[in-house]
Amino acid sequence: MNSWITTIVEWYNKNKRDLPWRKTQNPYHIWVSEIILQQTRIEQGINYYHKFIQRFPDINSLAYATLDDILLVWKGLGYYRRAIYMYETAQAIVNNRNGQFPNNYKDLLRLKGIGKYTASAIASICFDEKVAAIDGNVHRIFCRFYASNFNKNSLAFINQVHQDTLEAMSLVSPGIVNQAMMDFGALICKPIKPICHLCVVQNLCVAYKNNCIQHYPSKHKERTKEIIYHYYFFVHDNKQCYLYKRNENDIWKNLYEFPLFTSKTNNTSFLKVPFLHSLDVINSYESEIITHILSHKTIKATFYIVEVEAIKPLQNYTSIPLADLSKYPMSRLMEKFIEKSKIFQKF
């Protein structure tokens, strides 16, 4: 072995993490693991992977499920659009490809919800294709190794990664090379407090030799997030409550929630709740504000708990038994309220 990346592969062979999807080359299983691990910590991802594979063991079982079934298994994982795209992709593979996954990078990239990194991971691990899987770990390792603040999308960076990884892939299985870089970035060349004294390529790492690891990659200033105020109405009669299924084209599409009003200002004077006018209100109070942080905005949510004499049919809202509330896929924000509120303990 004669490249710095193959030295990392040697480290990987002795120190790799015991992850369930590493026991298979089944492209369906690898795909599921890669989609789950987007925006998800690996510790949490393992549990969801087991749960998902148990419920949907193959591409056909996923394609023939209902979206509500899938979103329920995904419940609590967040970024629900990932699950929706998986469902649509599973249907496309079953209907258009007789249930067979594409076996190369270019065809994988044509599938909905599969980007360059995921396509590279599946192609290299399952089909031994010599293609580099470039994620944040790989970017960070290369920036430090060469002491260069590479732009992730720059031609110089992409060329350097492909040159070095393809050299290693001529000696080692492409899937092993990519997984070795993933683990090395996650366990040794970490974003914060890298463990340089255990680094097997520290004698070649320019940033380490120049004592400037902390400068690579450069930190980008985070943009100030927009604050949105949500006002939810949990209206119940101790037997039933109202739910609304979102059809807006956003991250919570197809999820259920209590009737909602939104505002860009913390001012409840705008609130007009006409659907309450037809109901006999017995009691009402509001919850403490729950803060929910998304990648692009921060939500400040207030929940109004409204007890009424009886739940009546209302346009745009579905009435459901309180005992069935857990059967409906909801956003993590809704789940936070249900978990925190003592009122649900009696139902």
Instruction: For residue range 281-331, list pLDDT tens digits in order.
Output: 999 998 889 999 887 899 999 999 999 999 999 888 999 999 999 999 999
| Burial profile 308-335: b = 16 or more Cβ within 10 angstroms, e = fewer | beebeebeebebbebeebeebbbbbbbe
How many CB atoms sit inside 10 A of residue 227's CB? 13
What digits encode the pLDDT tens for the residues 235-278? 999 999 999 999 888 889 899 999 999 988 887 776 777 778 88
What is the pLDDT of the chain when averaged over all its residues? 93
Cα(77)–Cα(72) distance, rounded to whole angstroms? 10
Contact 120/131 with Cβ under 8 angstroms? yes
Residue 182: C-alpha distances to residues 9, 37, 306, 321 (Å): 11, 12, 49, 46
Cα(140)–Cα(148) distance, rounded to whole angstroms? 10
Tokens of 155: 């031609």
What digits encode the pLDDT tens for the residues 151-208? 999 999 999 999 999 999 999 999 999 999 999 999 999 999 999 999 999 999 999 9
Mean pLDDT of 96-113: 96
- pLDDT score of 130: 97
Q: Provide the annotated active-site residues.
A: 34
- Residue with the larger pLDDT of the pair 276 and 85: 85
- pLDDT score of 328: 93
Contact 100/59 with Cβ under 8 angstroms? no
Place of tokens 């004592």: 211
What digits encode the pLDDT tens for the residues 132-158? 999 999 999 999 999 999 999 999 999
The model carries a pTM of 0.85
Mean pLDDT of 201-216: 96
Contact 256/243 with Cβ under 8 angstroms? yes
- pLDDT score of 2: 57
Question: Is the pLDDT score of 1 beyond 60?
Answer: no
- pLDDT score of 222: 64
- pLDDT score of 82: 93
Place of tokens 């015991």: 18
- pLDDT score of 241: 96
Beta pairing class for 281-286 and 297-308: antiparallel
SS3 call for 293: strand
